[in-house]
Amino acid sequence: MPPTLGQAKVHKVSGIRAPASLQYNNLSYVEKYEAAVYASRTECVVAWLNKSKTTLLPLEYDAREPILQCSAIAAPPDLLHCNPPLLILLTMRTCTQLWTTVSPLGSIVHREADGRGCCGVLSVGTSKTVDAVVGTSNGSLLFAQYVLEVSSPSKPAEGLGMGSNAVEPFRVIHSMNGHKGQPITAVQMLSSVQPALRAASGDVSGKLVLWNREYKPYLSISTSECVTGIQIVSDGAFVAVANGAGKLMLVDTHTGETRISVCAHSRWINALSFNSTVNALISVSEDGYVSLWSTPGKEGGAGNGSMTSAEFNSIATHHLGNVLPTGAALSADGKRVFITAYDTNGVIEYNVEEHK
């Protein structure tokens, strides 16, 4: 029998009610520190899973607006000197902010002419840098970077924008419109040590764009429906794409060919997450189902037509009941699944149970 999910616990937010917002990909899991990060309207919730404790980022109340996406990673070894060294990117309509768990490191202003913020993710650059990519409402993709040497983390940047001449620690280093004015709905990027592919972005019209190391689009593919989630798998050989029709596709990053296309869900896919240690994807949908999928290994057969459907298949499927999932993550051992759901106060943890 295939594995099933058995609910382990709910990591509730203590003291206040802070349910997950209704948005795509509303969960970021950093296993190194057992931290799960999600947005609850104008709050950013950090759940410390091994401590049964939750904290909120100390955002300024007079400048709050709804958070559209949170992205969290473990900081590079030489970048931060706080404990734990966790970095969190908050994408909002008028700005994107970079935070530790206690203070801001910098901000990028999204002016109307440049497009408002829609989504954003973080990636490790070097031991002293971290990279970010932000999608905007006018189809522009912003590549940003935080550099340790420019400014002390104790002195956050203020009022940064595309037109700023100041050298700030967190700043846009390149911007390009690859989506012809269509709002970007999902982004993903690789660390700077990876070859060729740098980032992938998808928009409301269903267009998927792949970006190279020179920050230029080199492939554009139509997926026919709004792109709701993107993950780069098999060391950059393939891009997994989720959309509003409930489809899950694997696109070859060398040729742009769609190698696999499956009807993964009966309704919109709200979140798509990937764990490279176990080469597995996890998807959740408006239909209330969570599904685990195996992906090709690091070789993957990219560019040579050798991949078969046997390398991409369903591992487990589970119906969550009367909840609307908005975020998902999988542990490195493949044995724990984490879910956020609209109007649910906290993070739901499931065990992946094998049946012999």
pLDDT given at position 15: 85
Q: Are 347 and 40 in contact (CB under 8 A)?
A: no
Q: What is the 3-state secondary structure (H, E, C) of the chain?
A: CCCEEEEEEEEECCCCCCCECCCCCCCEEEHHHCEEEEEECCEEEEEECCCCEEEECCCCHHHCCCEEEEEEEECCCCCCCCCCCEEEEEEECCEEEEECCCCEEEEEECCHHHCCEEEEEEEECCCCEEEEEEEECCCEEEEEEEECCCCCCCCCCCCCCCCCCCCCCEEEEEEEECCCCCCEEEEEECCCCCCCEEEEEEECCCEEEEEECCCCEEEEEECCCCEEEEEEEHHHCEEEEEECCCEEEEEECCCCCEEEEEECCCCCEEEEEEECCCCEEEEEECCCEEEEEECCCCCCCCCCCCCCHHHCCEEEEEECCCCCEEEEEECCCCCEEEEEEECCCEEEEEEEECCC
Residue 237, pLDDT > 80, answer yes
Nearest to 75 by CA among 52, 97, 100: 100
pTM of the model: 0.91
Question: Per-residue pLDDT averaged across 34-49, rounded?
Answer: 96
pLDDT given at position 54: 92
Q: Are 142 and 117 in contact (CB under 8 A)?
A: no
Question: Per-residue pLDDT averaged across 318-341, rounded?
Answer: 96
Residue 227, pLDDT > 60, answer yes
Domains located in the chain, CATH noted: 4-353 (2.130.10.10)
Read off the pLDDT band of 192 (50, 70, 90). Answer: low
- Amino acid present at 330: L
In the chain, the percentage of residues whose pLDDT exceeds 90 is 74
Residue 303, pLDDT > 50, answer no
Could you report the per-residue pLDDT of 152-168, keeping only the tens digit for each? 444 444 433 444 445 68
